[in-house]
Structure 1
Amino acid sequence: MKGQNQNFIDKYFNLKNSFLYFGLFLFISVVSLYYINKIYSEGSNLDVFLRFPVKIIISIFLLLFFYFIFDGLRLYFVLKTLKADISFWNIYKLVFINIFISNITPLATGGGFAQVYFLQKKGVPLGKSSAAVLIRTLLSAMMLFLSVPFILFRNQAMLNLLPGNYMYIYLAIFLSLYFLVFYLLIFKLRLIMKYIYKLFYFLKKRHLLSKKRFRKIILYIFKHLELFSEDLAFFIQGKKIFVFLSLIFTIIFLLAEFSFTFLILKGLGYSISFYQIITMQILVVFIMYFAPTPGAAGIAEGGYSLLFARFVAKKDLFPLLFYWRFFSKYIGIFIGIFDFFYLIIRGGIKDEE
């Protein structure tokens, strides 16, 4: 198992690749911010933040503190539902690793793998850790995606701001795939295992896998798929208080993320209803889910600017955009850099309790 873990970390968390992806994220982000500032913002200045009312600045930093805690709590209570024995402190450290890795990998695919890897280092089995990370992601994704149709029905004009003429079709397909995967993993696991077996048997028959390697891979995959499926079903039937807290902290986390824009707009002197801000940011996050760039860089800035340009003066658009990304992403990413490389250099997470 140690050799498999090492191969995993070498493949996904190679230092050279991590720096390369991070550099790409920085490059796209800087170019996007520069373009928006140059073209749309009429020479606005970032020092406007220093002129915010003191209570707004304090509120933003307090929100930032609890934002990371809420992010950790949503995964913590999913793990508690699955009866995984791990401290909140170790989960809290994974918050920053997830933010960092998710924002330097296309479609935010790496963050979940990173959390699964480090959860295993803390003794949480692969099936249980994979189920917990997937459930955490599904909870937030379903809440966001189920909200989009209602927002668009109530605000038909927003359809013109979104790319393509088939938004409802894309949304329906995406949600259907989410529920289909969820359904298959719980109720049709044997069907999945059957096709996995056929795939690897085909590779063995073509002499791309040895007989020994074939048996080893099949046994490993089947064992952890069964554990994974059991844990998904166990969550649904798990202790109701932990299921409830998982849902509540997912909602609170999302509201905290959306509140950065609300406070920044207050600091800039605008009075826009919290409901309007939530609806616009749900659409931004929805668009970001489909962005192929690391951390949705470029797509996030463009979508956010497009939606909020209707509500703020041009000179305020760039400060709003920059501080939204700074507090909701950039700070967590830079903390995650040090957290990630420190843990990688140490070879994993040691218990510090």
Structure 2
Amino acid sequence: MADKNENFIEKYFNLKNSLLYFGLFIFISAVSLYYIRKIYSQGSNLDIFFTFPKAIIISIIMLLFFYFILDGSRLYFVLKTLNADISFWNVYKLVFINIFISNITPLATGGGFAQVYFLQKKGVPLGKSSAAVLIRTLLSATMLFLSVPFIIFRNQSMLNLLPGNYVFIYLAIFLALYFFVFYLLIFKLRLIMKCIYKFFYFLKSKHLLSKKRFRKIILYIFKHLELFSEDLAFFIQGKKIFVILSFLCTTLFLLAEFSFSYLVLQGLGYDINFLRILTLQILVVFIMYFAPTPGAAGIAEGGYSLLFAGFVEKQDLFPLLFYWRFFSKYVGIFIGVFVFFYLIIRGGIDDEK
């Protein structure tokens, strides 16, 4: 088992590459925060957090606790819908794995893959674990993406902050592709398998793959694609209570994530309507989905500052930005570093299932 773990690290999470991406995330984040403080928020002081009313500080700490719980719960109930046999504690550890890996890989590509890997180590089949992670992502992404057009149409002034009217075209294309792939996986699986077969057959015909290797790859992919597609369809027809809880936990998770800014603003003495904060946060997270940098570093800080600059005093922008990132990302990343290396290096993932 140790050899398998080492092969996994070497192939997918090479220690040197992980440290490089993590360093890049820290560097870009630090430069972004420094620039925003230097240019836009001169005179700001992070110690202001300790002057917040105790009720606000306690609320932020409690919100952080429920934020992580809800993050784990949304994946847990999706897995329960798929009849996966796994404890909530094992799923809860994946919350921090996902936060850490997502924030050290471009476009957050590594987090879902890492979760699939660790779910497999806990006995959840590849097709089922892949379907669960994708469904979890689809639920939150769909809620966000469908909200953006309504927000923009109701707030025409925000169009000036976005790259022209082409944003609607990009959004429409992205959503169409998103649901098209989802449709193919459930209803047109044979077409996908046919395309995959032709692709690998072409490689074999050009002597880039041996006959034995070609057959092994095709059988492996087809087997898990069928399981994956079945589990996606099974979720839609699964136990209603778990489907409802999956949607509910996803909604509450997003509300929790968007509430950090609201509470920090309350601590800074601002009385801004929560729906206005919710609107701005949805736009920020939407922008972050397309950021190519690790953890959307730089893009997140810039987009957040741009959208919130019109609602707070200049000296309050940096504390607001810093504590939003600190509670919504940095704390989870810090915990994720220890959880990840404990599970990988010390073999904690192979503990009793």
The TM-score normalised by the length of structure 1 is 0.98
Partner residue, 1:240: 240
* AA partner of residue 290 (structure 1): F
Long gaps (5+) in structure 2? none
Q: Is the 1:108–1:294 contact (alpha carbons within 8 Å) kept by the matching residues of 2?
A: yes
Deviation, structure 1 residue 17: 1.1
Where do 1:100-139 residues align within 5 Å? 100-139=100-139
- Residues in 1 aligned to 2:312 and 2:334: alpha-carbon distance in whole angstroms: 29
Q: Is the 1:148–1:283 contact (alpha carbons within 8 Å) kept by the matching residues of 2?
A: yes
Deviation, structure 1 residue 163: 2.6
1:75 aligned to 2:75?
yes
Deviation, structure 1 residue 53: 0.3
Partner residue, 1:98: 98
Where do 1:111-190 residues align within 5 Å? 111-190=111-190
Partner residue, 2:223: 223
Partner residue, 2:87: 87
Two-structure CA RMSD over aligned residues (Å): 1.4
Q: Is the 2:9–2:15 contact (alpha carbons within 8 Å) kept by the matching residues of 1?
A: no
**Cα distance, 1:198–1:72 mapped onto 2, change above 3 Å:** same
* AA partner of residue 173 (structure 2): I
- Residues in 1 aligned to 2:127 and 2:5: alpha-carbon distance in whole angstroms: 15
Per the alignment, in what secondary structure is the counterpart of residue 349 of structure 1? Answer: helix
Question: C-alpha deviations, 1:255-295, integer Å up to 9, x for none?
Answer: 00000000000000000010000000000000000000000
Q: Is the 2:75–2:132 contact (alpha carbons within 8 Å) kept by the matching residues of 1?
A: yes
- Residues in 2 aligned to 1:335 and 1:79: alpha-carbon distance in whole angstroms: 23
> Structure 1 residue runs of 4+, over 2 Å off?
1-10, 350-353
Question: C-alpha deviations, 1:38-82, integer Å up to 9, x for none?
Answer: 000022110000100000000000000110000000000000000
Long gaps (5+) in structure 1? none
- Residues in 2 aligned to 1:6 and 1:122: alpha-carbon distance in whole angstroms: 17
Give the % identical residues. Answer: 84
Per the alignment, in what secondary structure is the counterpart of residue 350 of structure 2? Answer: coil
Partner residue, 1:212: 212
Q: Is the 1:118–1:348 contact (alpha carbons within 8 Å) kept by the matching residues of 2?
A: no
Partner residue, 1:350: 350
* AA partner of residue 316 (structure 1): D
Q: Is the 1:121–1:348 contact (alpha carbons within 8 Å) kept by the matching residues of 2?
A: no
Deviates more, 1:227-236 or 1:159-168: 159-168
**Cα distance, 1:34–1:261 mapped onto 2, change above 3 Å:** same
Task: Count the aligned residue pairs.
Answer: 353
* AA partner of residue 27 (structure 1): F
Per the alignment, in what secondary structure is the counterpart of residue 163 of structure 2? Answer: coil
- Residues in 1 aligned to 2:208 and 2:185: alpha-carbon distance in whole angstroms: 28
* AA partner of residue 58 (structure 2): I
